[in-house]
Amino acid sequence: NQIAIFFRDHALSDNIGFVYSGWDPEKAADDFVGKLWEIHRNIINNRVESPIVPIILDGENAWEYYRNDGHDFLEALYNKIDNSPWLETVTFSQFLSENPNLGKLPKLFPGSWISHNFSVWIGHAEDNKAWDMVFKAREELEAFQKANPAFDIKKMELAWKEIFISEGSDWCWWFGPDHIGPNNDDFDRLFRSH
């Protein structure tokens, strides 16, 4: 019943998401690994135990702005990482299995990557209606599952998959007055299809 939380390195993650797309791929990869080297030196100087630098991007959004969809940058970056013996890539699962005794946070301030609150995703009438619809759908699926325990397990898994997709916060990014674009109606239709 424990939840592991990884906090993204804001600067490095945003450099990939918003800065490096306009750079030469080799120079961007050099800059990225150089910044990791600075972090590495600070970790050694401060004797940090179980260090990790999470690079967490906002989905696929970055790559459409890169030349060649980011392949040149990623190839340069992976080559530099591969040739840096002080640097190791790991998944979060791998890190947790190798570091089972991490510290605990007594309190966590709620917020999101865009702000110190959740106002982009909740609060507007459209957002609230969407979350109410998701809540109602979840309640109905839970009730159906409880009343029909012998129901086809594959179909039930598919139904839960649709619930989980509809619970993704990105749908509500497009509702309300904060973010208006030419595809809002498409996003609304897709949301409702789940």
pLDDT for residue 99:
93
Whether residues 53 and 130 fall in one domain: no
Residues 140, 89: one domain? Answer: no
Q: Which two tokens stand for residue 112?
A: 């999101």
> In a structure prediction context, what are the per-residue pLDDT tens digits for the chain, which is 194 residues long?
688 999 999 999 999 999 999 999 999 999 999 999 999 999 999 988 889 999 998 766 789 999 999 999 999 999 999 999 999 999 999 999 999 888 888 998 887 777 788 888 888 898 899 999 999 999 999 999 999 999 999 999 999 999 999 998 788 877 777 777 788 888 889 988 98
Write out the residue range of the structural domain in which residue 35 sits.
10-98
Domains in the chain, number:
2
pTM of the full structure? 0.72
Calpha distance 89→14 (Å, rounded): 18
Residue 107 lies in a domain: no
Task: Tell me the C-alpha distance between 81 and 30, whole Å.
Answer: 10
In a domain, 2, yes or no: no
Report the alpha-carbon distance of residue 145 to residue 153 in Å, rounded.
10
Q: Which two tokens stand for residue 176?
A: 């309300």
Could you tell me which of 159, 167, 162, 90 has the C-alpha nearest to residue 122? 167
pLDDT in tens, 92-137: 999 999 998 888 889 988 877 777 888 888 888 988 999 999 999 9
d(CA 158, CA 145): 12
